[in-house]
Amino acid sequence: MNSQSASIKEQILNIVGNDLADIEAALRSNLTPHLDLVREVAGHILFAGGKRLRPLLMFICARICGSDTPQNKRFSTIFEYLHAATLLHDDLVDDALLRRGKPAAQRVFGNETAVLTGDFLLARALSIAADTQHIEVIRIIADVTEQLSQGEIQQLHNRGRIDLTEAEYMEVIHRKTAVLIEGACHSGAIVAGAAGHEAMALKCYGQRLGMAFQMADDLLDYTSDTTGLGKSVGADLREGKLTLPVIIALKAASRKDRRWMEGIIQEKTFTETDFHQFVDLMEKYGGIAGTRDHAAKYVSDAKSCLEGFPPSSDKALLELIATYALHRKA
């Protein structure tokens, strides 16, 4: 899977390399806070090698609907600023150690500055959204923010709950990840002035893609290593955060193995040996494979959402990104 993942990523980067460079430049030029410190903290999270998935999706979704302007690249920064803002607030919630391979912002600059810089980035997103002159985009940002904050609170209060159901997990990841990616795709269609059915199709694509992305993310927390991931491996387990691979495995496990796994989840401290044994049990009881199957189904659904669009390089690109969601390494 390693080399397959690398090759898909390379393919995508070959196609969108120039667009990504433009987006990168727009991210910098739209970041004009009055204070150097704000620029530094915002830069800490923004320029640490994010994938720029959300702005890229917004930009391509606008283009597949017939609009390809430099303005769209500027607009697409909305969803990276919004994403970075939520990362700043979420890392505070989780008190994460690492983010994008660097110490998390709240650990470098303090909780207060991290929270306020998150607010600043949200304001930047909003300001650029106002420039689109589309109230509909504002409505999407409001909805994304509302869902995200509630999803995070929900997740926070689900911590350590070993009886979390698959349906509850799906609700949380929809709110905390899918709505943002869905919003980026939908907004791309809106700024392009797309027809209603096209906008809905791209929104649907984004939603499925977002779900698959989060499932892959939750898998990586057990199957990757810290260097590749850019954040601490096993973090979910340490936070008592039940994700799909664990939910599936717990359901299938023998009584004895389930009890042992539940003990690890509730204790939150464990040795490296415990962790490997935990992952082995997840493998044994189909948690890893089952999650991959779920993600594959969402990826396939995401591609189906695009069926109404005639063949084009952008359609192929959106399909490739969906495939990448499943095979990514970090």
How far apart are CB 235 and a copy of itself at their closest, in Å?
Answer: 15
Nearer to a copy of itself, 111 or 254 (CB): 111
Amino acid identity of residue 135, one-letter, is I
Q: Report 108-127 residues binding a copy of itself (CB under 8 A).
A: 111-113, 115-117, 119-120, 122-124, 126-127
Considering only the stretches 135-143, 251-259, 264-272, 298-306, report the one whose residues sit in contact with a copy of itself under the rule CB under 8 A: 135-143
Measured between alpha carbons, how far is 290 from 215 in angstroms, rounded to an integer? Answer: 11
Beta strand segments in 19-118, E: 98-99, 102-103
- One-letter amino acid of 130: A
Q: Of 33, 160, 240, 286, which one interacts with a copy of itself (CB under 8 A)?
A: 33
With contact defined as beta carbons under 8 Å apart, do 330 and 230 qualify?
Answer: yes
89 forms part of the interface with a copy of itself (CB under 8 A): yes
* Residue 97 is a binding residue for a copy of itself (CB under 8 A): no
The answer to whether the beta carbons of residues 1 and 296 sit under 8 Å apart is no
Q: What is the C-alpha to C-alpha distance for residues 93 and 329, in angstroms, rounded to an integer?
A: 25
- Closer to a copy of itself by Cβ: residue 153 or 252: 153
User: Could you tell me which stretch among 31-39, 195-203, 307-315, 319-327 binds a copy of itself (CB under 8 A)?
Assistant: 31-39
Distance CA 26, CA 77 (A): 7
CA distance 330 to 328: 6
CB of 268 to a copy of itself, least distance (A): 16
The pair of three-digit structure tokens given for residue 286, joined into one six-digit string: 């189909």
Using CB under 8 A as the binding rule, whether residue 163 contacts a copy of itself is answered as no
What residues have CB less than 8 Å from 223, skipping those under 6 apart? 279, 288
Q: Is residue 320 a contact point for a copy of itself (CB under 8 A)?
A: no
Q: Which is nearer to a copy of itself, 239 or 314 (CB)?
A: 239
How many CA within 13 A on the CB side of residue 188?
Answer: 34
What are the residues binding a copy of itself (CB under 8 A)?
33-35, 37-38, 89, 92-93, 111-113, 115-117, 119-120, 122-124, 126-127, 129-130, 133, 135, 138-139, 141-146, 148-150, 152-154, 156-157
